[in-house]
Amino acid sequence: MDGKNKLYFGDNLKILREYVPEASVDLIYLDPPFNSSATYNVLFKEKSGEESAAQITAFEDTWQWSQEAEAVYRETVERGPRKLADLMQALLAFLGRNDMMNCLMVVAKRLIELRRRLAQTMHGLRLCSCAACAHR
């Protein structure tokens, strides 16, 4: 397969790093939940088509500042693009070490990888949920 028109399932950070070559993407559409404080499940149906009580957790969209978030912050500030490092430092000074700052760090490390994959002819689109935009 030549790599065009593929759909990957999984953590986009791992997929980007392992399967998507640099400067190979023309369009990025990013619309995950951002700090919705919800747990998302995969629901199953019975063979009859009826809803099943069976489900598994797909992912949790709840954020808390943690040692991992601190490590990502330090890595971004020390080794990331200078403008992003400056922005993250300003946001941390403004927001503090909290759930929204953790959410921003998770998104930031993915945006770094996404930027590396953009082709010269790229068109980008990024959507942000109301939960993240209306942070108090």
**Greatest Cα pair distance in the chain:** 56
Model pLDDT, residue 125: 56
Model pLDDT, residue 123: 67
Model pLDDT, residue 101: 92
CB-based contacts of 34-40 (< 8 A; 24+ apart in sequence): 34/61, 34/103, 34/107, 34/128, 34/129, 34/131, 34/132, 35/61, 35/62, 35/63, 35/99, 35/100, 35/103, 35/129, 35/131, 35/132, 35/135, 36/61, 36/129, 36/131, 37/61, 37/62, 37/131, 38/62
Q: What is the pTM of this model?
A: 0.69
Note down pLDDT in tens along the chain; length 136 residues: 455 677 787 788 899 999 999 998 887 777 666 667 777 777 777 888 887 777 777 777 777 898 988 999 999 999 989 999 999 999 999 999 998 899 888 888 888 888 889 888 876 655 555 555 544 4
Model pLDDT, residue 56: 78
